[in-house]
Amino acid sequence: LRQAEGIEVDYQPGLDEAALAEAIRGASGLIIRSGSRVTARVIEAADQLKAIGRAGIGVDNIDIAAASKRGIAVMNTPTGNAVTTAEHALSLMMSLARHIPQATSSMKAGKWEKKKFKGRELAGKTLGGGGLGTIRRIVADRAKGLKMNVVAFDPVLTSDRAAALGVELVELDAVWAAADIITVHTPLTPHTKGMINDEVVPKLKPGVLLINCARGGIYDEDAVLRGLESGHIGGAAFDVFPVEPPPADSPLLQHPRVVCTPHLGASTQEAQDRVAEQIAEQLVAFLDAGEVKNALNVPAV
């Protein structure tokens, strides 16, 4: 950003809503990560703002409707952390299948509970979920390397294109019935919120492993907890939560068959560098030449 001609950089991390609303006055562009919230109040205070850039894919911390009313472009970097997030989902899958966190805690407590932590092979198992976006395609590709079968529901993708990716396209109920492991890689929307709930849990394959590295709330956490307690769900892994950080005394987090991480999906040095560089380049191109790339409320130009 500092190397770009005509760009003056005002770097102020860690601002709350009130401080950001004050600091945004006079700014032409704003770049944020996941820790900043661009609310309607902030946008209302932005008297010269033309574009908001999110270093990452999730934009639920930006009031896009308010930005659109003001003619402010909102851009993200949808592919910059895709590999890292996919790898984290696979790491959680392996941790669930082989009880790695629980076995580590047991050994650090001075125990040797070999029989307690008998796991499962992944080869020959079926990995399922909804949507075949960038992250799921990477997950599917790596899962095929582990000799897993991959099924997915996608209302847009053709069967031929899915087959080329090594994925069998099926209806959503068929995913629930067939999958030994389910991962989600979609935004949180009214359609995806509570995708797995009390109505869906009985449709899942007994012993299924559930993984969420996308957005908190896509799985109904109370329903997942009930499924774990009944034994129908074999294990669950969460990297994201409806409220972050979640309550320390959450029964879900304390469950012995739950693996959890503090929103680490995109937290690798490579991914953080990549999305920062991409959003800086996108914002400079927008302010300098009017080029629109990866915008969520403006057609690409």
> What residues does 181 pair with on adjacent strands?
127, 209
Q: How many angstroms separate the CA atoms of 80 and 53, rounded?
A: 13
Do residues 39 and 63 make contact, with C-beta atoms less than 8 angstroms apart?
A: yes
Closest alpha carbon to 181 in 150, 155, 159: 150
- Identify the residue whose tokens are 């896509």: 218
User: Over its length of 301 residues, how does the chain's per-residue pLDDT go in tens digits?
Assistant: 999 998 999 999 999 999 999 999 999 999 999 889 999 999 999 999 999 999 988 898 999 999 999 999 999 998 899 999 999 999 999 999 999 999 999 999 999 999 999 999 999 999 999 888 899 999 999 999 999 999 999 888 888 989 998 999 999 999 999 999 999 998 888 989 999 999 999 999 999 999 999 999 999 999 999 999 999 999 999 999 999 999 999 999 999 999 999 999 999 999 999 999 999 999 999 999 999 999 999 887 6
Instruction: At 266, list the tokens.
Output: 């995109």
- Identify the residue whose tokens are 């944020």: 32
pTM of the model: 0.87
> What residues does 184 pair with on adjacent strands?
212
The residue count of the chain comes to: 301
- Is the Cα dihedral 142, 143, 147, 153 positive or negative? negative
List residues with catalytic annotation. Answer: 244, 263
